[in-house]
Amino acid sequence: MMHLIAPSILAADFGNLQKDIELINNSQADWIHVDIMDGMFVPNISFGFPVVSAVNKHAKKPLDVHLMIVEPDRYLQRFKDAGASHITVHYEACPNLNRTIQVIKELGCTAGVALNPHTPVSLLEDIIIDLDLVLIMSVNPGFGGQHFIENTYKKLKDIKELSSRQNPGLLVEVDGGVDEHNAATLFAAGANVLVAGNAVFSAPQPLSVIAALKQSGLS
């Protein structure tokens, strides 16, 4: 089973972003998670295309772009052009989700759908066969540093059961409150990809934290 780590640069030092990107490059991380917020879908604003392009200029790992925005279809091409390898949109923001997923795939990107904590996995039943990735939000989206929502484990069980029937190769990502204390349990519950922000960039030794998170998938 694949076990990937995707540090979230939402928790990085924006004044020294190149330094933190190079830190990820030199770590055991697999992807660089990039949270895009528009101040409408979530009550916060992060960054847009110029910053994503700047990150891509220095990144040696794939950019895992998580769109927490309304009307994401308007910007899929631009995020691809900025350097996204993986594009995840929110179920709650996409009234024509099948078409959105199709466009992401036509752009040559991994196509993902994110679910907010209150959104049940069952709503993906009619589209899961077309997805490359499902992102389970284990906090309410918009801000880093929140406490992990325990119901996430049930949702992992639900998505594992659903994907085993229709899409056994589906990647399952968890974002929010991930750290060294719950990483092994999340992997054991069925997650393939863990996003970690504060746990990495607030640590005295970020490289050691990333290594520990990676190792938790092997234990």
Residue 48 CA to its chain's centroid (Å):
16
- Residues 178, 179, 184, 187, Cα dihedral to 10°: 20
pLDDT for 121-132, tens place per residue? 999 999 999 999
Question: 199 to each of 13, 35, 181, 204, 206, how far by Cα in Å?
Answer: 14, 16, 10, 10, 8
Q: Which residue has the higher pLDDT, 155 or 219?
A: 155
Cβ–Cβ < 8 Å for 66, 88: yes
Q: Which fold has domain 4-216?
A: TIM Barrel (3.20.20)
Please indicate whether residue 30 is annotated as part of the active site.
Answer: no
Name the pLDDT band for 2 (thresholds 50, 70, 90): confident
pLDDT of residue 144: 63
Name the pLDDT band for 211 (thresholds 50, 70, 90): very high
> Quick check: 143 pLDDT over 70?
no
Residue of 20, 35, 132, 179 with catalytic role: 35
pLDDT of residue 118: 95
pLDDT of residue 147: 84
Please indicate whether residue 20 is annotated as part of the active site.
Answer: no
Three-class secondary structure of residue 8 per DSSP: strand
pLDDT of residue 218: 76
pLDDT of residue 55: 97
Residue of 38, 132, 175, 179 with catalytic role: 175
Alpha-carbon gap, residue 79 to 216, rounded angstroms: 31
> Quick check: 194 pLDDT over 80?
yes
